[in-house]
Amino acid sequence: MGRATIVETGLFMMTRFPQPGYTKTRMIPALGPEGAAWLQQRMTEHLLQRFVGLHHHRELSFEVHFTGATSTQMLDWLGHQVVLKAQCEGNLGQRLSYAFEQGFADGLSRILVMGSDCPSLGEAHIFQALKLLNTRDVVLGPAEDGGYYLIGLKAPQPELFEGITWGQSCVLEQTLAIANRYCLSTSLLKSLPDIDRPEDLPLWIRYLEESSSRPQVRS
């Protein structure tokens, strides 16, 4: 028998089940409840398709951490192609902290957690983040709205998620201030746009148009 691969790195995507009225609520004035849920579904599936195969290329596990649904609903939606884990209750900071805590408890030595609303996020950003984690305590992918689309750690740092004004333009600034307070070294990836508000929709439409013009590779 061959030696089992030891997975040391985790890539977690945080997402919400696309139930109309409960997801992408800031998009509802422009798209309606069903349209906002459809957008959430499309963006999650887009990133899932992009990253689900990464474990074939490196010793890396990919997990989807979900909220707003049962495990059965998530399986009906995304199937068995990826590990599905329920998020804990609480605000975003508590849910992020819990995801890292559980991942390190499972034996991972490096973890990247990303959202599901940054369609420009690609493999190059993931590999760069992992490289930076070799010499930094915290890696952040700044979102153009002042938040972040990715955070990477190599040890639990629950203080990074406490006292943050989630959903506001000061999230990245507050996180960096906490890291500095606790003498944690940091590195930043390239800033990328999130698709969170009606004014972001032209970016999503342009991204879809650009994507449709590229050759499609199907497994």
**pLDDT tens-digit profile of 19-42?**
999 999 999 999 999 999 999 999
Backbone φ and ψ for 60, nearest 5 degrees, come out as -140, 135
User: Hunting for tokens 């010499």 — which residue is that?
Assistant: 135
**pLDDT tens-digit profile of 129-138?**
999 999 999 9
* The pLDDT of residue 52: 86
* The pLDDT of residue 58: 63
pLDDT(149) > 70 = yes
Q: Which of 111, 152, 121, 128 is nearest to 44 (CA)?
A: 121
Q: What is the pTM of this model?
A: 0.91
Question: Of all residues in the chain, what percent carry a pLDDT higher than 90?
Answer: 81
Q: Which CATH code for domain 9-212? A: 3.90.550.10
Q: What is the widest separation between alpha-carbon atoms in the chain?
A: 57
Residue 59's CB is within 10 A of a number of other CB atoms, namely 10
- The DSSP element (H or E) to which 85 belongs, if any, is strand 83-86
* The pLDDT of residue 187: 98
Both tokens of residue 79?
């199937």
Amino acid at 205: I
- The DSSP element (H or E) to which 13 belongs, if any, is strand 9-16
* The pLDDT of residue 55: 64
Sign of CA dihedral 45, 46, 47, 49: positive
Percent helix, strand, coil in the chain, to 5, is 40, 20, 40
Of 66-75, 188-197, 209-218, the poorest mean pLDDT is in 209-218
- What's the mean pLDDT in 93-108? 97
C-alpha span between 129 and 39 (Å, rounded)? 27
Both tokens of residue 16?
């919400």
- What's the mean pLDDT in 147-163? 97
Confidence of residue 6 (pLDDT cuts 50, 70, 90): low
27: helix, strand or coil: helix
Confidence of residue 207 (pLDDT cuts 50, 70, 90): confident
102: helix, strand or coil: helix
* The pLDDT of residue 4: 47
* The pLDDT of residue 217: 39
Alpha helical stretches, state H, the chain: 28-51, 71-78, 92-105, 123-132, 171-181, 201-212
What is the domain partition of the chain in residue ranges? 9-212
